[in-house]
Amino acid sequence: MQTPRGSGRLPEAGTQRESTISELLVELANSSAALVRDELTLAKLEIWKKLSAFQSGLIAIAIGAVIGLIALITLCAAAVIALAAYVGAWQAALIVGTILALTAGVTVSVGLRRLKQTSLKLE
C-alpha cells in the first residue's frame, strides 16, 4: 500500500527535534535579553530612588549650613557689641575680625596639609 505524498508522512527523524531546539534557543535568547533589560530598568529605578534620598539629605545639610552661618554672624555681632562696652566699636570689630581671620587661616592650612597627604590614585 502506498501513501499519497503529503498525507500521513512522518517527518524525517531529526528535523522536528532540531527545529524545536532552535526555537527553544531563540526563546531562551529573547527571554534572557528581556530579563537583562528588566534588571537594568530596576537598577536604574533603585539608583534614582537612592539619589533622590541623597539629594534631599544634601539639601537639608545646605540649609543647616546657611542657618549656622547666619547664627555665627549674629554671635560675632554680639561679641563686637559686648566688647565695644570696654573698647571702641571699631576696636571691638577689629579684635573679633582678627580672631576670626586667624582661626580661618589655621583651618585652611590644616585642610591643605591633609589634601597634600591624600593620594587619589587607585592602587
For 3-17, how does the pLDDT look when each residue is reduced to its tens digit (9 = 90+)? 455 455 555 555 555
How many whole angstroms separate alpha carbon 27 and alpha carbon 21? 10
**Average pLDDT over the chain, rounded to whole?**
85
Are 3 and 9 in contact, with CB atoms under 8 Å apart? yes
pTM here? 0.54
Let me know if 46 is exposed, middle or buried by CB neighbors in 10 A (0-12, 13-18, 19+).
Answer: exposed
Q: Which range (51-55, 70-74, 117-121) has the least confidence?
A: 117-121
**Alpha carbon 60 to chain centroid distance?**
16
**pLDDT tens-digit readout, 64-77:** 999 999 999 999 99
Quote the pLDDT of residue 53: 82
